[in-house]
Structure 1
Amino acid sequence: MAETADIPIARDCAGIIVAGGSGKRAGLGLPKQYARYRGTTVLGFAAKALREAMDGPIVVVIPAGEEKRASDAIGNVEGIVFATGGETRQASVQSGLEALAAMTPRPDRVMIHDAARPDLPPDVAHRLLAALRETPGAIPVLPVVDSMIETDGELMGAPAEREQLRRVQTPQAFRFDAIHTAQQAWQGQLTAGDDAQVLRAAGMGVALVDGHARLAKLTYQEDFVTETTVLPFRSGSGYDVHRLVPGDGVWLCGVHVAHDHALSGHSDADVALHALTDAILGAIAEGDIGDHFPPSDPQWKGAASPIFLAHAVKLAAARKYAIGNVDLTIICEAPKVGPHRQAMRERLAELLAVDTDAISVKATTTERLGFTGRGEGIAAQAQVLLVYRPDTAA
């Protein structure tokens, strides 16, 4: 479905966002309206999208005592008013309607939206409000593409005619006085499936307009893996350099390599592990190794670099990311890396708890150019791919 260009902002229209659910089915450890979503939160994205469609006040209906949390989640969207929700969705919507009814002037139209459908295309809102010229209510719908049946207990029942069925989305648009009156008349009845059912029960018509796949409801954890900043993959790169000084060997990839020099640093100066640690931290946007283990802190003097790597891996695991693969390049004239490459791969695989076939260790020179070519130091660069795995243990 093509998007409509230059959609005008609706005047004399207010909005209500219902955001009081617990979102337990999403398994995120917090109500899904507060989950991260495309650089903000689910609630923040929904509020911004609704604000871009109309210029009136937006009442966000939330549980009691959550004004600060909801305000932080929404950010700098203007015209937000909070109302306390009720035991049912209808009670929460009624609370939002009463908040709007108390305003001067009262809006002529209202769009009632679920926070769990944050991605509102402007043309859907435009179609909804245009439909209110002819009917008191309008809802966005999508066709049913699967075969449909009724159930007979746990057995298949009669077929249902999918041509007569539609999938209903939000926001749902109404003439304000019509839905306000219908909601007041509904009080005390059974829970309605949505607000349009309330209007229809009051004997008023509800128009159908084309919805949009972008308005899909965020319900389960996998919805957030594909639809939010919880990406299925994250990549990072790292680069580090350490000076060579007289000594008896260097640490590279957690392996001690005999040499007539050592690497100088506050810790054991394992340049390869430092680059890999930075790559993992970069993949999860957690700064760099110096942020977590500052060289000014004496407790890290001479520390073994696997400590730093384990910390980065743990931070990634806390976000449910596991190591996919590693590609690490060591840049030096000496010592020769080739004889130790397999031992380095095996040590990295052990440290990262992955198979060795996920680990690549390469070496190159700079043809005796630059500080590495002159034997003044060793450099390393690392790339890492992290894979989102919900069962990853921190």
Structure 2
Amino acid sequence: MPKPPRTAAILVAAGRGLRAGAGGPKQYRMIGGQTVIFRAMEPFCRHPQVFAVQPVVNPDDTALFTDAVRALRHAPPAHGGATRQTSVHAGLEALAPERPDIVLIHDAARPFVSADLISRAIEAAGRTGAAVPAIPVTDTIKLVGETGDVEATPERARLRIAQTPQAFRFDVILDAHRRAAHDGRSDFTDDAAIAEWAGLTVMTFEGDPANMKLTTPEDFVREEARLAASLGDIRTGTGYDVHAFGDGDHLMICGVRVPHTKAFLAHSDGDVGLHALVDAILGALADGDIGSHFPPSDPQWKGAASDRFLKYAVDRVTARGGRIANLEVTLICERPKIGPLRDVMRARISEITGLSISRVAVKATTSERLGFTGREEGIAATACATIRLPWND
């Protein structure tokens, strides 16, 4: 059985996006409650066949970039150049020490790339060495002269609209970029054109009409409306968890190691906050509960870190084409005091889920010394998750 190719991705995000109007670089604007660049990068970061994601950004945008994708794992960003071509070349050189077999090159202005399209790109590159996603042209195209006169009508059946991610064997596209830079060529508008110039045969594979590029203000308005309509099935789930205390010196709460005089008695790490959130998300999906997916009778989950369970629940939402809109957890305990750690916990949940921290709430209350939490015998947690799913789910 041959090993799967080591696949990396480059996210090109150094442009200024002037045609998109006021509001700063378009890749850092919001669409559907998330930044454009987060939406464009997240599917690559979560794809099981992509081992590294290499962003390429304008050095002036470093703070914007860091804030926008804080919850995603990626390589340190490379600095882009004056053209898309030089930016891609910078990303390729940054990836060279990792020696990937295949590289996917994607524009940050395309925030609706799907996991299926990424998989098709990897398969096409492995099969052909150079391939681009393409969709048929549905309108008649006219070749127009400088004075506005129609010079020709190309045969529509042979025309295609090229998209990204464009996929290549890493060594051949890096060589092509190096040759173009050496020859002073900087006028290529996409990587397929560089590959063609270098003598490679570039194949096409099935693109995705939803994989739209955001270019103008009208694009933002249209796609915002489409997202609202397509993810209009809003669902809410609740979760509850409790764990007793035993001997130990720390607790895991909402993904944060909290020093304490006790530890949780639990099969996993006992993180009541994350467990309640997992149940809330699964409840919103009508997809069982944490015990049905991670039974405590299974020894593989003994001592397991609960961030794995939460990532799994988030992936269940993503797999159904949905998005998490909001997460809230309430911790019920006398000690430890949660207030000083609230924002650290919110940040950790944000990191695990890929959700903006503004969509994560952590609260705490006591039970006024009543019951098992009042006697400091354990901690309880409740949670609520709001998700958006496609209407056809």
TM normalised by structure 1 equals 0.54
Counterparts of 1:143 and 1:214, CA distance in 2: 13
CA shift for structure 1 position 132: 2.0
2:178 corresponding residue in structure 1: 184
1:169 corresponding residue in structure 2: 163
Report the CA distance shift for 1:149/1:166 in structure 2 as closer, same or farther (over 3 A).
same
Q: Deviations over 1:141-180 (max 9, x none)?
A: 0001111111122112221111111000001011100100
Counterparts of 1:126 and 1:232, CA distance in 2: 26
CA shift for structure 1 position 133: 2.8
**Structure 1 residue 122 and structure 2 residue 115: aligned?**
yes
- Written as runs of structure 1 = structure 2, the 5 A alignment for 1:212-361 is 212-228=208-224
- Written as runs of structure 1 = structure 2, the 5 A alignment for 1:56-71 is 56-71=51-66
- Written as runs of structure 1 = structure 2, the 5 A alignment for 1:362-381 is none
CA shift for structure 1 position 230: 11
Q: Deviations over 1:59-99 (max 9, x none)?
A: 11111242221011112111232000011111100100000
Report the CA distance shift for 1:231/1:14 in structure 2 as closer, same or farther (over 3 A).
closer
**Structure 1 residue 145 and structure 2 residue 141: aligned?**
no
CA shift for structure 1 position 209: 0.4
**1:48 partner SS:** helix
**2:153 partner SS:** strand
**2:76 partner SS:** strand
**Structure 1 residue 94 and structure 2 residue 112: aligned?**
no
TM normalised by structure 2 equals 0.54
- Written as runs of structure 1 = structure 2, the 5 A alignment for 1:21-60 is 21-53=15-47, 54-60=49-55
* Structure exhibiting the larger radius of gyration computed from Cα positions: 1
The AA in structure 2 aligned to 1:199 is A
Report the CA distance shift for 1:199/1:230 in structure 2 as closer, same or farther (over 3 A).
closer
1:285 corresponding residue in structure 2: none
Counterparts of 2:227 and 2:125, CA distance in 1: 39
2:9 corresponding residue in structure 1: 15
Counterparts of 1:74 and 1:37, CA distance in 2: 14
The AA in structure 1 aligned to 2:124 is A
Q: CA RMSD in A?
A: 2.2
2:189 corresponding residue in structure 1: 193
The structure with the largest helix share of the pair is: 2
Gaps of 5+ in 2: 230-393
Counterparts of 1:51 and 1:139, CA distance in 2: 20
The AA in structure 1 aligned to 2:36 is V
1:11–1:55 CA contact under 8 A, matched in 2: no
- How many residues are treated as equivalent by the alignment? 223
2:207 corresponding residue in structure 1: 211
Report the CA distance shift for 1:232/1:45 in structure 2 as closer, same or farther (over 3 A).
closer
CA shift for structure 1 position 229: 8.0
Q: Deviations over 1:191-245 (max 9, x none)?
A: 1120011112111121100100111111111211232389999xxxxxxxxxxxx
1:44–1:75 CA contact under 8 A, matched in 2: no
Report the CA distance shift for 1:228/1:73 in structure 2 as closer, same or farther (over 3 A).
farther
**Structure 1 residue 202 and structure 2 residue 198: aligned?**
yes
CA shift for structure 1 position 101: 0.5
Runs of 4+, deviation exceeding 3 Å: 228-233
1:11–1:56 CA contact under 8 A, matched in 2: no
Counterparts of 2:58 and 2:21, CA distance in 1: 19
1:39–1:229 CA contact under 8 A, matched in 2: no
CA shift for structure 1 position 45: 0.8
Which of 54, 73, 78 is the matching residue for 1:78?
73
1:139–1:169 CA contact under 8 A, matched in 2: yes
Gaps of 5+ in 1: 1-9, 234-394
Report the CA distance shift for 1:229/1:75 in structure 2 as closer, same or farther (over 3 A).
farther
Matched residues, percent identical? 40
